[in-house]
Amino acid sequence: MVSFETDFVIVGAGSAGCVLANRLSADPANRVILIEAGGSGTSPFVTMPAGYGKTTAEFGHSWHYTSASEPGISNRKMLLPRGRGLGGSSNINGLLYVRGQTADYDSWGNLGAIGWSWADVAPYFRGGETYAGGANEFRGDTGPLRVEDLLHRDPTNDAVLAAFSEIGVPLNEDYNSADQTGAFYYQVTMANGRRCSAADAFLRPVMDRANLTVLTDAHCNRVVFEGKRATGVEIECNGVRKLIHARREVILSAGAYHSPKLLMLSGIGPAAHLAELGIPIIRDCANVGAGLQDHYILPMSWQLKPEAFSYNRELSGARLVWNVLRYFATRQGAMTIPAAQTGAFVKSDPSLDQPDLQFHCLPVSGELDAASTDSKPQLSSYPGLTLAPTVLRPESRGHVRLASPDPRATPEIVHNYLDAKADRYLSLKAMRMTRMLAEAPSLARLIVREAYPGPETIKDDALLDYARQTGNTGYHPVGTCRMGIDEAAVTDPQLRVRGVEGLRVIDASVMPRLISGNTNAAAIMIGGKGSDLVLKNGGYDA
């Protein structure tokens, strides 16, 4: 077997892995190998912001996982694309930059993630970004990641924001500052009309470092141990198995589905489950793969009047071809739109301290087919508007388990969407609030009719049935390698895997609780803070 030797080996070149490779290799004395199972992560459709509609639907830039039957949503099987290639899911996500609430991180500390309060993580958010709006107490302007305000505004999105104001939701100039509450145009990871992925920001600028080796199309089969110490990883490239020895540490940054899978393949996980599959047990840890959390998006749509602005026309037929050509010529137009242009963080009850609902709004609509889970909906033939709320901090919990001891096999993934009574209750409130939004004067004047779920869907049972049949993943899986100080935690607050040596997990799987919003910004933050924990630095600029 071919073998290599390094100081640090990082498995996974996604949002956290790219940051780790950058920061661990900044010291020429550290030799670093970054392993990525996908390819280079380069394509015109990755660069094009609206290309996520293609890259998430086609194999090549994403892994097309499918969940097991989800009992809480009528046993549907959810399509779960995850990024494949340098940049990981930051190559195929909707580009929305959301940090979450300061209270999210303070709650992590209360859950045993000591050292991860807002005061601890804020320097990594600031230091990692260059925000087009300029630096202040909350925002940075010297970091590698480009974050911009959406420059393209249109009358329909403006009407959405006006409608929020009319139902009592104020405008918020920067939801990534002190208070998340309010309505806004989303901020995006974009630079001059091009996607700014984690690879663009953190990895590609440093790939010529002599002490950094990046291996693509390299599948990690398992972590190698000597006793209780991780000493390296076994990988496979073009059918050839190779062993990479890590003198200092092995770091898993493969995400909330893959990192627990690799731990279990390596003998760290629920003992009975591993024994069933004939995997030798290094450490019995019942919570590896447990605690899976995700946002569940509830799409609702309206037909707009012919004169109203909508992307349904711009993304169909000859207009789509024209817009693609326009994008490559000017980096402007319809192909620069993210997954949502406007949105809001809203309290379901005025007595709450923090918002518990999020809205994604975009003037486009599709024909929903509840029976289909393996394809994206076709665009509606009429101008449309989609308003999609989600419960920010769901109580439902799922799991990741091995389906086979074969490293190439997709794991068994069950999220248990809508399993918790509180999630069902808040989902109903969110859908009713969405109808209030559509009935506000600024939007009502643009609307012909409610298309989905339709005005006849009134009673709670009918609305919940619609939610079960048509809701979708928020693409925000976290929590399967939870950090904490209790014995049940998979990792400690330094992100070291408990009960073994020389092994850490540094990605979104360590989150004790799902943050209040999209997760890419937080994953990048975890990569930054995690690198300092590895290097024992005192801060982002140490």
Enzyme catalytic residues: 476
Query: What tokens appear for 482 in the block?
Result: 């939870």
Q: How many C-beta neighbours within 10 Å does residue 289 have?
A: 30
Task: Identify the helix (H) or strand (E) that includes residue 146.
Answer: strand 145-149
β 357-362/342-346 pair status: antiparallel
d(Cα 150, Cα 392) in Å, to the nearest integer?
Answer: 23
Q: Which residues on neighbouring strands pair with residue 144, listed in sequence order?
A: none
Q: Residue 106: is it exposed, middle or buried by C-beta count within 10 angstroms (0-12/13-18/19+)?
A: middle
**What single-letter DSSP state applies at residue 141?**
B
Per-residue b or e along 400-434, where b marks 16 or more CB atoms closer than 10 Å to that residue's CB: bbbeeeebeebbebbbbbbbbeebbebbbbbbebb
> Hey, which residues does 292 pair with through a beta bridge?
398
- DSSP 8-state secondary structure symbol assigned to residue 496: B
Cα distance between residue 455 and residue 451, in whole Å: 8
Burial tier of 501 (Cβ tally within 10 Å: 0-12, 13-18, 19+): middle
Residue pointed to by tokens 């909350």: 138
CA pair distance 259, 289, nearest whole angstrom: 9
Beta strands in 25-110 (DSSP E): 32-35, 62-66, 79-83
Beta bridge partners of 41: none
DSSP of 351-396, one letter per residue? Answer: T-SS--EEEEEES--EE--TT--SSPPEEPSS-EEEEEEEESS---
Residue 435: which residues within 8 A CB-CB, separation 6 or more?
A: 300, 450
Among residues 379, 370, 350, 348, which one has the least CA distance to residue 457?
370
Distance CA 129, CA 98 (A): 12
Give the C-alpha separation, 381 to 268, whole Å.
Answer: 51
CB atoms within 10 A of CB 111: 17
Residue type, 193: G
